Structure 1
Amino acid sequence: MTVYNGPRPGQARISVNNKSAALALAMTCSLAGIGAAITLTPATAFAQQNTARQHFSIAAGKLSDVLAQFAAQAQVPLSFDPRVLFGIRSDGLQGSYTAREGFQALLSGSGYALQPEGEGSYSLRRLPSDPVTLSPIRVDAGAGEESAYGPVAGYAARRSITATKMDIPLIETPQSVSVVTADQIEIQDAESLHQALLYTPGVVPMGSDNLISDGLIIRGFNVTGSEPMYLNGSKLPRNTFSGVSEPYAMERIEVLKGPASVLYGNAAPGGIVNMVSKLPRTKTSRELKVQGGRFDRKQLAGDFTGALTEDGRLSYRVTGLLRRGDTMTDHIPDDRDFGQLSLRWQPTDDTSLTLLANSQRNDTVYLYGLPLEGTVQHNVNGDIDRDRFIGEPGFDKFETKNKSLGYLFSHRFNDTFTFRQNALYFDAETDWNYLIMGSLDASQRMLSRTSAARNDRNRTFTLDNQLQAKWSWGAVEHTSLLGLDYEQSQFKRTQYRGTAEALDIFDPVYGSPVQLNGSPVSDTTEDSNQLGIYAQEHIKIDGRWVVMLGGRYDQVDGKGKDHLAGVSATTYDDHAFTGRAGVLYLFDNGFAPYLSYSESFEPISGQSAGGQAFEPTEGEQTEIGLRYQPQGGFTSITASAYKLTQENVVTSDLANPGFSVQEGEVESTGFELEARANLSSGLNLIASYAYIDNEVTKSNSGTKGNRTNGVPRNMASLWADYAFDGLLYGLGVGAGVRHIGETRNIANTVAVPSYTVVDTSLRYRLSPQWLVTLNIDNLFDEKYATCSYACFYGVKRSATVTVKYQW
């Protein structure tokens, strides 16, 4: 991936006519950083090349260089000043094209188009700020204006599918959305969802371990296990321990902040995460990546896409990864096999079917954690080592196998109506042996332990039908959406318990016997179903005012079976209506203030002392914000303030000990600021700040005033990336700083200290095909921890080297 660097002033103008000289001069200018006016004047007229196809194989590089090579090979007279294209990169061109198709593919997204100059010659012209309707030419599924399903050049996305289920510009969305692009994932070398979201405001990964769970806190609410994950807009209702996400397979990661039930059904009030897969493109692109370094890591990854037919109607993408390595903690491996295949069939310009499948196997060990004493509290024996393992080598394991199969279907009936149907099947199995940490003895050395094992099986199916209508009435533009979705899920778990000997955590001796009982302590199955119907209206009035309205009705039920007791029961049978409303105003200068209100619901199991089933918890958010996205630029800034409340929270029933009542309430009030910019000087930035005032506002359990575990009051981050040009062309450097304020453990008895971590990146492009990158996380080896039921050290300083080959 590449990042737009933008033009710079003060360069000379030079004009040449000879084709060979022009190409030589273009390459010289690239190396020397000197702009030139390049004129290529072969005799053949451009009009004669409109229907004639020829094969091109032009490597990625500066857009000015790639255009010069293409014009020379296509024998098209083209004049332009490279200064206006300074810093803009191109993926090159592979395959058969007419001259017109080739130019359109290369200039897509650059802000420029061909301009006839008479006598068969052409130049470049700057496109106006307003969208321009171009005649359809099948060149690349990812070409043209940015698509909510497609790649983003740099860090600043301009469109999103997550907040509206429609390809709506972010500037017209009255709710906060953060988008992590594939460029950011690659440059920061994010190997997990946790790492990919480290520079996203209001999002806090649960714990420091990212091998067994994608658990997150969003806007002060733990969304783990509440179905916050979506894949290409389809719900991915997997259990917390049914697998983790692979960022290398993602084009973008989008976080919708706040209640999202109006489009997605039951969910925690903090928000959801939608991951968009790398989908097929008709332009051939191939890469291989070899990585080594941190904790004996050895990794091979590849991504291949292109057309399977000459007309591009059938295209493919294959993405895969093999990893063998260790972790900071002794005796915990990090092995992964991942493969993803997608096929797109587009029989007409109005119909598209994309099939997606992936398979993943993880072989690691569950990191249970460490005691408070010796990590964030005083221990008479000193600090516990960061690499300490409390389990038993040879017994502990965490093996996960999961696979998914789905499709994305779309058909445009006419200029008004479009139908979409998305389906996803997910199947996962987890085998898990681990030792449970007990307490320290009086010497604060010996840690008691018990053994446990379990097997989980998770199967889910989701189907989402959407009918969209785009229509106008006078000066009012409407985009209407009507949807019906269905989810079916089954989760089976069998658990065992046993015994193990204590461990000296300051001088561990492993190899003591571990016993597991032959009979399980629990064997349960949970089945759930959800059916929802929703409607949404996006109204744009006179090109200025945007009004968003939405409503949804859900019917959900859950049934559980205890196989040991032979008892089945309905755990919940609920229905809920949720809504959303927002208003936004678009100024000419790129500013867009907005105000919105949204709701969520989340079913919970259990019943009161009187035998009444618990009602779903309810969330509601009021948000006021301001977006800034200048026309024709690559900058996105969002500032938002919100009040987010969750009601019907379960708390102790004082009149009936051992039972609960739904009289609890949790509230988060906060402010977020996020800036993403690809600046003209070659400097690219990500800056964020979040203030989260989170506390229990109602409780019968004596917890009123407590903060939710792991929620900092303040968090901030800054990432800067600079791509050199001129004599240092090919060199790129990046550095970031992340600060997380003081947090609390689950019991709210310990204040976990704040911490600040610095990350760096250094890369050098040896040629258009070869790129070498060095990433160092936690550059100054900051020692820090996060705590919940136990404490987890943050990853110590670690470095990886990546060599990538593209062709």
Structure 2
Amino acid sequence: MEIEVGTAAPAGRLPTGKRGRLKAFLLATTMAGLALLANQPAGLAQQATDGGKAGQGDGQAANGMVLDPISVQGVVGGTEGYVATRSAVGTKVETPLIEIPQTISVVTRKELDQRAVQDFAGAVAYSPGIAVVDYPGGPGAPDFSMRGFRDFNLFGIYRDGLRAGFNNYDTNFEPYGLERVDVVKGPSSVLFGQTSPGGVVNLTTKRPTAKPLHEIQLQTGSFDRRQAAFDFGGPVDGDGKVLYRLTGLGRLSDTQVDHAPDDRLYIAPAVTFKPTDKTKMTLLASYQKLKMSGAEQSIPRNALDQIGTDLFFGVPGYSDWKVQNTSVGYEIEHEISPNWTVHQNARYMHSRVNFVSAFSTAWPVEVVDGRYYPVGVQDRPKSTNTYLLDTNVQGKMTTGPVSHTILAGVDYGYYSGKEQRRNSLNALVVDIFNPTYPATDFTYADPWVNGKSNLTQIGAYIQDQLRYENWILTLSGRQDWVVDKEIDNLSSSFQTARDKHFTGRAGIGYVFDNGIAPYASYATSFQPATGTYAPERGGGTFEPTTGTQYEVGVKYQPNGWNSFISASFYHITQQNVTTNDPVFSGYAVQEGEIRSRGIELEGKMELTEEASLIASYAFVDAEITKDNPAVGSTASSVGLRPKGIPRHMASAWGDYTFKSGPLTGLGLGVGARYVGTSKNAGNTETIPDYTLVDAAVRYDLGALRSELEGASVALNVSNLTDKKYYSAGFYDNTVLYGNRRQILATLKYSW
């Protein structure tokens, strides 16, 4: 690593955006979409023959169109039903899942709909090996762990094959705007660059459809929820060379926490142009406006019996997390020859964040005198810009009896963020027995953060998927160059860190004719680490952490059955982890290590035309294997479990739709999720295990009368038994309350 230090000119404060009007915007966009449909050429708004499921693929198709043999990364679209058999994420080339030497779980659009998924945590709730911190009303993008390793600052979340961002507080994700979710387990740096050893999650947004698609949805439910959404798509011209998609959602809602909103506006237009049979271009854009609570909601464990799940540890109407996020991008695919195509995927994203965070001023975090919780606030506005570009060429060739699928490309990422932070000098005292929230005029200290971050990443990668008879060998390699420049306007200085790292993957599998495919693989990863060495050690920033995984498993795609079953065993070691400097107090060195090993089982099956079943189990044995005691202490973390990592997780969801008889049109779903015990950072406290039950009832109103064809109603309940449960908190002696029971009623009309 090379370090540069210099000076920089001061920067100004960030602008503050105007507050939009959610209802007016939603009404305007809805009317615009309806007007667009009304002006389509005759015949284009005809009813889809599959009962309102136009545009959904069949497992071998994406976005309602027949896929080319080679397809751009991350763009495999919706799958009809629960079972996906292909992915373009694990290899950046659309590949049958059974041929990829890595565990990948896919959540389809049908599953998202039938479970009425409302957030990222709900989307992956039935996927093994991933644990999300439930944070009702809380700020920021999801905080989760995979295979025992925490993903944060969006290292592990990708959207349409490109990183979703670089900071947790810049954005969030709207499940209604997604076509599918691919959960890729284990080190994936060889294709995506800097990532956690646990894996990545790719969110594929909805794409233009070749068949007309029209849907309007109204939803209400717990916590005064009011939501409306629409999804329109289809061809614009008679030849089908121009396709469109317009998806929108608006929500005004409270949450289980008093004074904590969950308001959202989302609009996502998309257009696909196919000027020739060899060229296809899709333009993608989205705008999202969010308002949620900015309160930290750290609950002291010794006050759990006194504090209800609705108590707000913030300043009503003041401590909020407000985000406006706009993104525009495109995907281009051009066939150079019958066997070679070039792809380019790009996105620009701008975010404006108005964030007033509320936190406990007591340390350690506690209820003072048995009833008072002192709350301070931090004003932390931020403005960010992100540029992402991925260009690659994909092709097929043969060398004797061996066929090859070649991938070679270069990707580029640039992130620029301005941020200021200042803490209040005074506090609001919340009486936990009488939370009246007296008016408080906060005065602020001078900013303690005022700076800018510039991060640039360039990666060059190459991959070969070799096939000989039933054998598949996958070889991948990548070189990354990362430059991180941190500008401090308070001291008029800057520091530049330069890193470069090589990662690779090798995997081999054999696909038997009966659909059984054993495999083995080796993969590596790297992830930047923050912090500096003691001045006596020369100062300087840390090297990236590195990850190594060995995985063996078997996948089963039985002939004649629409199902996919997988089992895997993995062993991951993360090195260069920061730990206490054994000589210089208050500093850290990179002598730590974490080891995680475990088992994952998953099955997704459509047993009959009426019945579907998904089930999973994960065992995660994560342990700190190297650690230094602090200066003057003999206490080491060796042998302890990392914070918030459950050892056991299991889930099952079953769904049945009556296709004949007096109950025709009725659909029933029920599921259970078990999350085992976990520990706080010091392993001094145990977070109890819990089981949550979910249920769904829906009815196709068209089964009653033909005039109601396309209309349906649904009732979904998450945490049916209203189980009270917790996640590990931000501090060693705190927890976060989980989501209480939520009831959602949905009216949908498709034509």
Query: Secondary structure, in 3 states, of the residue corresponding to 1:803?
Result: strand
Q: Which of these residues, 173, 182, 204, is aligned with residue 254 of structure 1?
A: 182
In structure 2, the gaps of 5 or more residues are 1-40, 630-635, 703-708
Judged with a 3 Å threshold, the aligned counterparts in structure 2 of structure 1 residues 792 and 605 are, in CA distance, closer, same or farther, namely closer
State whether structure 2 residue 588 is matched by structure 1 residue 695. Answer: no
SS state of the match for residue 98, structure 2?
helix
Alignment partner of 1:607 out of 532, 537, 545: 532
**Superposed, which structure 2 residues align to 1:443-454 within 5 Å?**
443-454=369-380
Relative to the length of structure 2, the TM-score reads 0.88
Are positions 1:757 and 2:692 aligned together? yes
Is 1:641 equivalent to 2:569 in the alignment?
yes
CA distance in 2 between counterparts of 1:395 and 1:285 reads 41
Separation (CA, whole Å) in 1 of partners of 2:694 and 2:257 = 20
Higher relative contact order (CA 8 A, sep 6+): 2
Distance in 2 (CA, whole Å) between partners of 1:716 and 1:375 is 30
Aligned: 1:491 with 2:417: yes
Q: Distance in 2 between matches of 1:246 and 1:647?
A: 34
Aligned residue number for residue 473 of structure 2? 547
| Alignment-derived partner of residue 602 in structure 2 | 674
Match among 516, 519, 541 for residue 594 of structure 1? 519
Does 1:729 pair with 2:652?
no
- CA contact 2:596–2:622 (8 Å) conserved in 1: yes
Offset at residue 607 of structure 1 (A): 2.9
Residue aligning to 1:716? 650
Q: State the secondary structure of the residue aligned to 1:502.
A: strand
Counterpart of 1:515 in 2: which secondary structure? coil
Residues 683, 721 of structure 1: 8 Å contact kept: yes
Greater mean deviation of Cα atoms: 342-351 or 611-620 = 611-620
Q: 1:141 touches 1:280 (CA, 8 Å); kept in 2?
A: no
1:688 counterpart letter in structure 2: S
Alignment of 1:129-528 (within 5 A): 140-141=64-65, 149-209=76-136, 212=139, 213-374=141-302, 382-437=305-360, 438=362, 439-441=365-367, 443-498=369-424, 499-517=426-444, 519-528=446-455
Measured in 1, the distance between the counterparts of 2:109 and 2:69 equals 17
CA RMSD of aligned residues (A): 2.3
What is the aligned counterpart of 1:793 among 728, 737, 751?
A: 737
CA deviations over 1:718-754 (Å, ceiling 9, x no partner): 0001011212221100010001001112343210100
**Aligned AA for 1:371?**
I
Letter in 2 for 1:627: K
Aligned counterparts of 1:142 and 1:206: Cα–Cα separation in 2: 38
Structure 1 residue 631, shift from structure 2 partner: 3.2
Equivalence for 2:32: none
How far apart in 2 are the matches of 1:178 and 1:92?
Answer: 23
User: Per-residue deviation at 1:90?
Assistant: 5.2
Q: Which runs of 4+ in 1 moved over 6 A?
A: 143-147
1:618 maps to a residue whose letter is T
Residues 204, 217 of structure 1: 8 Å contact kept: yes
Identify if the C-alpha distance between structure 1 residues 751 and 139 changes in structure 2 by more than 3 Å, giving closer, same or farther. Answer: closer
Q: Secondary structure at the residue paired with 1:520?
A: coil
1:654–1:700 contact (8 Å) kept in structure 2: yes
In the TM superposition, residue 59 of structure 1 has moved relative to its aligned partner by 4.1
Write out per-residue CA displacement over residues 375-401 of structure 1, whole angstroms, 9 at most, x where no aligned residue: 65xxxxx33111010112132111111
CA distance in 1, matches of 2:44, 2:293: 49
Give the whole-Å Cα distance in 1 for the aligned partners of 2:527 and 2:512.
Answer: 37
What are the superposed Cα offsets for residues 573-610 of structure 1, whole Å, 9 maximum, x if unpaired?
11101100000000111110000010001122333232
Q: State the shift of 1:291 in Å.
A: 0.3
> Cα deviations across residues 415-467 of structure 1 (Å, max 9, x unaligned)?
22110000011111111113211333563221222221111222111110111
Q: Please list, as runs of the form range in 1=range in 2, the aligned pairs for 1:52-201 lying within 5 A after superposition.
A: 55=43, 59=47, 91=52, 109=58, 140-141=64-65, 149-201=76-128
Alignment coverage as a number of residue pairs: 684
Label 1:501 to 1:281 Cα distance change in 2 as closer, same or farther (>3 A).
closer
Deviation of 1:694 after TM superposition, in Å, equals 0.6
Q: What is the identity, as a one-letter code, of the residue corresponding to 2:331?
A: L
SS in 1 for 2:232: strand
Q: Secondary structure at the match of 1:184?
A: helix
Q: Deviations over 1:20-60 (max 9, x none)?
A: xxxxxxxxxxxxxxxxxxxxxxxxxxxxxxxxx99587645
Larger-Rg structure: 1
Measured against aligned partners, the alpha-carbon deviations of 1:283-335 in whole angstroms (never above 9, x if no partner) come to 11100000011110110000000111110001110000010110000001111
Structure 1: gaps of 5 or more residues = 1-52, 61-65, 67-88, 94-104, 111-130, 377-381
Corresponding residue for 1:778? 719
1:478–1:561 distance in 2 versus 1, CA, 3 Å: same
DSSP 3-state at the match of 2:111: helix
What TM-score does the superposition give when structure 1 sets the normalisation length? Answer: 0.82
1:92: how far off?
A: 7.3
Contact 2:295 2:359 in 1 (8 A): no
Flag the 1:404–1:632 CA change in 2: closer, same or farther, 3 A.
farther
Paired-residue identity, %: 37
Rounded to whole Å, the distance in 1 between the matches of 2:666 and 2:549 is 45
Could you tell me how far 1:140 is from its partner in structure 2?
Answer: 5.0
- Find the aligned partners of 1:341 and 1:175 in 2 and give their Cα distance: 33
Q: Secondary structure at the match of 1:517?
A: coil
Give the 3-state SS of the residue equivalent to 2:396 in structure 1. Answer: strand
